[in-house]
């Protein structure tokens, strides 16, 4: 195993601990607070499901980019990488628009425990998506500078690991926050 891959896997493992704790905090809040179900009425589940689909699709496009970077014909990899960035940006814009909508309804991080746990958990995830977009953009620029020829850098796999982690975390967060409320 190369050192860059190992370093990314260790970093992702450490970040997973933070997410597990934040998710557990939300679950404990939701399970022990009678008003938790009322707070969820502010969430737009269908709209967020669309942005979630974009993020899930970005894992597919990222995988396609990695596969293409591993071939002799690497030009298509740039299109897949660009598609990944666009889908990630759409997700992030969707999260931002949801925040704006919640703020208009006076749901803030300081209003109550729902706001605190919701904005902390989704905001921490959003920060990770933003970091992933910066990593993807950097990777795009570095690979483009290399001219799209030769072996891909080891950074391609490392960024891919990070991006799939961010997507996987949302695959836990979305059902816990948005779908659990339907019970």
Q: What is the pLDDT of residue 41?
A: 79
Q: Which two tokens stand for residue 181?
A: 């409320």
Cβ atoms of 43 and 181 closer than 8 Å: yes
Q: What is the pLDDT of residue 114?
A: 80
Q: Which two tokens stand for residue 55?
A: 């993020």
Enclosing domain of residue 149: 3-182
Q: What is the pLDDT of residue 183?
A: 46
Residue 41's CATH number:
1.20.120.80
Diameter of the chain measured on Cα atoms: 59
Q: How far is CA 11 from CA 15, 16, 61, 66, 161, in A?
A: 6, 9, 23, 20, 10
Q: What is the pLDDT of residue 145?
A: 83
Higher local confidence (pLDDT), 21 or 115: 21
Residue 165 — pLDDT band, cuts 50, 70, 90?
very high
How many domains does the chain divide into?
1
Q: CB-based contacts of 25: which residues, under 8 Å, 6+ apart?
A: 117, 120, 121
Q: Say how far apart CA 5 and CA 27 lie, in whole Å.
A: 32
Q: Say how far apart CA 5 and CA 11 lie, in whole Å.
A: 10
Cβ atoms of 88 and 129 closer than 8 Å: yes
Higher local confidence (pLDDT), 49 or 183: 49
- pLDDT tens sequence across 73-114: 778 889 999 999 999 999 999 999 999 999 998 888 888 778
- pLDDT tens sequence across 122-164: 999 999 999 999 999 999 998 888 766 666 667 889 999 999 9
Q: CB-based contacts of 17: which residues, under 8 Å, 6+ apart?
A: none
Q: What is the pLDDT of residue 2?
A: 85
Nearest to 84 by CA among 107, 64, 67: 64
H or E element, residue 116: helix 113-145
Q: pTM here?
A: 0.91
Q: Which two tokens stand for residue 88?
A: 């990630």
Higher local confidence (pLDDT), 167 or 142: 167
- pLDDT tens sequence across 16-65: 999 999 999 888 887 887 666 666 678 889 999 999 999 999 999 999 99
Q: What is the pLDDT of residue 108?
A: 81
């Amino acid at each position: 195993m190369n050192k860059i891959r190992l370093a990314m896997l260790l970093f992702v493992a450490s970040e997973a601990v933070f997410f597990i704790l934040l998710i557990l905090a939300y679950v404990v809040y939701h399970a022990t607070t009678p008003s938790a179900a009322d707070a969820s009425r502010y969430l737009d589940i269908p709209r967020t499901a669309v942005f979630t689909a974009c993020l899930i699709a970005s894992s597919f496009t990222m995988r396609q980019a990695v596969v293409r970077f591993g071939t002799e014909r690497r030009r298509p990899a740039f299109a897949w990488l660009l598609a990944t960035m666009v889908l990630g940006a759409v997700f992030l814009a969707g999260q931002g628009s949801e925040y704006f909508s919640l703020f208009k309804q006076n749901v803030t991080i300081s209003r109550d425990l729902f706001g605190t746990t919701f904005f902390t958990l989704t905001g921490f995830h959003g920060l990770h998506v933003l970091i992933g977009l910066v990593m993807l953009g950097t990777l795009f620029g570095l690979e483009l500078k290399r001219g799209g020829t030769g072996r891909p850098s080891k950074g391609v796999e490392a960024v891919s690991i990070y991006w799939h982690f961010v997507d996987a975390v949302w695959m836990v967060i979305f059902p816990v926050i948005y779908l659990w409320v339907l019970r």
